[in-house]
């Protein structure tokens, strides 16, 4: 299928309804271990946890060999085999409330093709609005990138990361149990996150790949547990993959009205950068 055919998907819409159930939120809390009060029905859902709802539920027979749902429904049938959630821009207007129904309205906003170091790339921009009742709670725009396999990715060479004195940090050990639980939370069957022989032999990675959204959520958790102010916006960009081969470091630098965030790989490279915007005033 040509690029011209893909652009016929621009403007295609999707409606998904879900209940912001307490059970899923408790599963997320057990995975992320946030040091906060217990979640209850009627409580606000923490920011970014909407990624644990409105999940794709393709039948087993409609999964591709990589574990992703086959394309051609809402997402165009782009043939490039590698898929990455490359970034997003999110506005939090009002927290979703646990225990109440919600709906997510999606639209394909743009599809473009470029050529990168690994060959042709296709970029799909998807917009979402999430409502409870008639209230718009969250607006989000996601960037999904599709590419050819490219050359194998070398394992990072760990170095001693320099100390950070002007920021809050956390070291994360991305073991297979954490990756499996996050895959379960997001109903994500992509094999690079749990099937080591597939990740190494088929997609050329040195180990299991840490989910980009997991890294973004962990950066958000570091932010929200170190401020009393509401988080009104968040944006992130993935820059390099992280693997289960070594710990990585989260860094949060708090400014007046925003927090600059970074996930640093064991070799010191910047794997993901993000910015959280703070609303309201100090409590």
- Cα of 259 vs its chain's centroid, Å: 18
| Contact between 118 and 270 (Cβ < 8 Å) | no
Calculate mean pLDDT across residues 132-138. Answer: 98
The secondary element (H helix, E strand) that includes residue 83 is strand 82-92
Max CA separation in the chain (angstroms): 55
Q: How confident is the model at residue 3 (pLDDT cuts 50, 70, 90)?
A: low
Calculate mean pLDDT across residues 103-130. Answer: 91
Under 8 Å CB-to-CB from 204, ≥6 apart: which residues?
Answer: 149, 150, 151, 152, 153
| Contact between 18 and 104 (Cβ < 8 Å) | yes
Q: With 90 as the cut, is the pLDDT of residue 4 above it?
A: no
pLDDT digit string (tens) for 143-187? 999 988 878 999 999 999 999 989 999 999 999 999 999 999 999
Q: With 70 as the cut, is the pLDDT of residue 63 above it?
A: yes
Of all residues in the chain, what percent carry a pLDDT higher than 70? 96
The whole-number pLDDT of residue 282 equals 46
Give me the domains of the chain, ranges plus CATH numbers: 3-278 (3.10.129.10)
The whole-number pLDDT of residue 280 equals 82
**Beta bridge pairs of residue 112:** 123
Residue with tokens 């409330």: 97
| CA angle (248, 250, 254) in 5-degree steps | 165
Q: Is the dihedral of CA 1, 81, 213, 268 positive or negative?
A: negative
Calculate mean pLDDT across residues 4-28. Answer: 92
Calculate mean pLDDT across residues 251-266. Answer: 97
**Ramachandran angles phi, psi of 185, nearest 5°:** -60, -35
Calculate mean pLDDT across residues 28-50. Answer: 89
Calculate mean pLDDT across residues 205-220. Answer: 97
| Contact between 183 and 191 (Cβ < 8 Å) | no
Under 8 Å CB-to-CB from 71, ≥6 apart: which residues?
Answer: 77, 78
Calculate mean pLDDT across residues 133-146. Answer: 96
Extract the tokens encoding 65.
């060999």
Rg (CA), the chain: 19
pLDDT digit string (tens) for 213-244? 999 999 999 999 999 999 999 999 999 999 99
Of all residues in the chain, what percent carry a pLDDT higher than 90? 78
DSSP labels, 181-207: HHHHHTT---GGGT-HHHHHHTS--SS
Mutual orientation of helices 22-32 and 176-185 as an angle, nearest 10°? 160
Q: What is the number of other CB atoms lying within 10 angstroms of the CB of residue 166?
A: 7
Higher pLDDT, 81 or 10: 10
């Amino acid at each position: 299928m040509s690029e011209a055919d893909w652009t016929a998907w621009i403007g295609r819409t999707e409606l998904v309804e879900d209940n912001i159930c307490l059970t899923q939120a408790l599963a997320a809390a057990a995975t992320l271990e946030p040091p906060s009060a217990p979640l209850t029905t009627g409580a606000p859902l923490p920011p970014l946890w909407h990624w644990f709802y409105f999940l794709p539920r393709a039948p087993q027979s409609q999964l591709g060999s990589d574990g992703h749902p086959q394309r051609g429904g809402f997402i165009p049938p782009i043939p490039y085999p590698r898929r990455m959630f490359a970034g997003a821009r999110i506005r939090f207007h009002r927290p979703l409330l646990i225990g109440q129904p919600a709906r997510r309205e999606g639209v394909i906003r743009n599809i473009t093709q470029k050529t990168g170091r690994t060959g042709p790339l296709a970029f799909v921009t998807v917009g979402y609005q999430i409502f409870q009742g008639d209230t718009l709670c969250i607006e989000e725009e996601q960037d999904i990138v599709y590419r050819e396999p490219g050359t194998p990715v070398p394992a990072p060479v760990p170095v001693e990361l320099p100390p950070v004195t002007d920021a809050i940090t956390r070291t994360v050990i991305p073991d297979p149990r954490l990756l499996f639980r996050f895959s379960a939370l997001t109903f994500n069957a992509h094999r690079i996150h749990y099937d080591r022989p597939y990740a190494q032999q088929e997609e050329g990675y040195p180990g299991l790949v840490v989910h980009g959204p997991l890294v973004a959520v962990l950066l958000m958790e570091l932010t929200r547990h170190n401020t009393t102010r509401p988080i009104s916006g968040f944006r992130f960009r993935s820059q390099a993959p992280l693997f289960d081969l070594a710990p990585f470091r989260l860094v949060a630098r708090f400014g007046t009205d925003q927090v600059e965030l970074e996930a640093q790989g064991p070799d010191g490279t910047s794997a993901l950068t993000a910015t959280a915007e703070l609303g309201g005033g100090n409590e």
